[in-house]
A and B are shown apart, each in its own frame.
Chain A
Amino acid sequence: MHAISIHNVTKQYRLGRMRNGKPVHVLDSVSLNVQKGEFVGIIGPNGCGKSTLFKMILGLEKPGSGEVTVLGKKPEDIQMGYVPQHSSGALYPWFTSKENLDFAVKENNAGTAQLISNKIQEFGVSMYTNAYPYQLSGGLKQLLSIARATLYSNILLLDEPLTGLDYQNRMAVEKKLLDMRNGQNTAVMISHDIESAILLCDRIIILTPKPARIKAVLAIPLPKNRTHETRFLPEYQHALSNVYAALLE
């Protein structure tokens, strides 16, 4: 069974406020399967439908036609870990870091309290449990966002997890995501950062401009366990060239 299965999905919106607004095709016959334990990157131009695809996987929107399943079930019946772009206020500013994690669990009890405590330790953010998001750097906020997502699911949807971060914060978040490539976690990642996407992902999906179709599917033949130093491997450079070549076609 695939972790995520997208079969022949099409979607269109109507622009403007009136019902007879101009229809715009956003996704056109997109099919994609994500295996358990796989990290898949999605690259495409702005407005091509990447976020729409995410919303369908999350069960927040229905495809116009086609089908989306997660672990063989309807997406709305499965909870997935969603990490939005950090600039879009992923963490609620009225909650402390810990309260943001508390909000993510269904029930607050001794068990979930221990789970949250372990997660805070695992992500190295113990010092910041009582801090509010506006008191944290972009990297810390993103780590907390990822920690929250992994509280309740091994299937993660990451929307540009490294965008807007400075070099140091990017390295910290990237390292955490590399550590999560342990076969237990499955991830689909939207990224404009091609270099990081290649380092983090097993496959890269390239979408065309609207209406988005799959232009290319590129396997990234790098070792399963990766570090920042994997960038220095010739295979990495080769993969980078292949992706750029596909983008430029």
Chain B
Amino acid sequence: MKTHSIKVRALPWLVIGTILLGWNLTHYLQVFDPFLFPSPIPVLENFFKLFETNHADILSTLEKLAIAITGGSAIGFLIGIVLYRFEWVYESFSPLLDFFRSIPATALFPLFLLFFGIGDPTNIALAVWIGALYLSLHVSKGLKGTSEAAVLMAKTLKKSEWDILYHVRLKEALPVIFVGLRTATSLTLVVLIVTEMFVGTKNGIGKMLIDASYTYNIPKLYAGILLIGLIGYLANSGIIYAEKRVVHWEGK
């Protein structure tokens, strides 16, 4: 079992190593223009240098991400509860929410710019918007999907609607809510990075990427992309870890 565990844990590193080797070989064989497809070595060098030269940008994005995820989650959660609790609200607003979910968040940037002005408030507001939009769907669906048996048991215990909502429906909905949280977090990060590339942003990884592309600092561009992927991966891993602790009964 221990051997199996070591093998399983080594597999992702094996894949990463293979990709790096393949990347290096592709660069060496000049399959693509070497200027546009640098070797992984300068990319990795730039990656580690980012923490020294662009730590303000990194901190700025992380701060905005934390605010946006917190705000988007709180608002999305509340909206989800309201959508579940009041059927008429769900029936009335559900088509509108589906309508807004179909509009790419970045297409709303000019509108948010008018409302919130140039800079971080617009970036954060748009990221909160998209996070809340997606999480509310998962919260309401999760609550609506509670098993009848679980609710029936609570009713035989003469529990109040609030007790049933908090102790039964919400707990049963947690797996679906966590899936929503992961989706919302990924979309929040995407929207944040993309809007940082727009005019008016002072700091951020998105701005760093645009500056790198304008100055043809290709290895730094690649390094920035790797950094975004790493942030997304760590955020996702954090949520998965929290889910395993909180929803300890899932799959058992």
Residues of A within 8 A of B (CB): 55, 58, 60, 79-80, 82, 84, 88-90, 92-94, 103-104, 106, 132-134, 152
Contact = CB atoms under 8 A, between A and B. Distances in A.
A80 B156 contact: yes
Contacts of A104: 157
Contacts of A55: 152
Interface string B162-200: 000001100100000000000000000000000000000
A84 B171 contact: no
B153 interface: yes
A132 B249 contact: yes
Interface residues of B, number: 17
A93 B249 contact: yes
B171 A92 contact: yes
B16 interface: no
A60 B249 contact: no
Contacts of B152: 55, 60, 84
B9 interface: no
A152 B156 CA distance: 11
A19 B46 CA distance: 66
A89 B149 contact: yes
Contacts of B158: 79, 106
Nearest to B168: A92
Interface string B231-252: 0000000000000000111001
Contacts of B147: 89
7 contacts: A58-B155, A82-B156, A92-B150, A93-B249, A93-B252, A94-B171, A132-B249
A104 B96 CA distance: 41
A126 B167 CA distance: 24
A133 B168 CA distance: 15
Contacts of B247: 94
B249 A90 contact: no
Given A88-B149, A132-B248, 19 more contacts: A55-B152, A58-B155, A58-B156, A60-B152, A82-B156, A89-B147, A89-B149, A89-B150, A92-B153, A92-B167, A92-B171, A94-B247, A94-B249, A103-B157, A106-B158, A132-B249, A132-B252, A134-B252, A152-B157
Interface string B218-239: 0000000000000000000000
A-B interface, 3 closest residue pairs, ranked by CB to CB distance from nearest: A93-B249, A134-B252, A82-B156
Interface in B99-124: none
A178 to B, nearest CB: 24
Contacts of A84: 149, 152-153
Contacts of A106: 158
Contact of A90 (B153, B159, B167, B248): B153
A104 B159 CA distance: 8
A82 B153 contact: yes
Contacts of B171: 92, 94
Nearest to A58: B156
Interface string B5-49: 000000000000000000000000000000000000000000000
A80 B153 CA distance: 11
Contacts of B248: 94, 132
Q: Which of A80, A103, A132 has most B Cβ within 10 Å?
A: A103
A216 B19 CA distance: 74
B167 A103 contact: yes
Nearest to A149: B156
Contacts of A89: 147, 149-150, 153
B156 A60 contact: yes
B44 to A, nearest CB: 44
B106 to A, nearest CB: 39
Contacts of B157: 79, 103-104, 152
A133 B150 CA distance: 14
Contacts of B167: 92, 103
B151 to A, nearest CB: 10
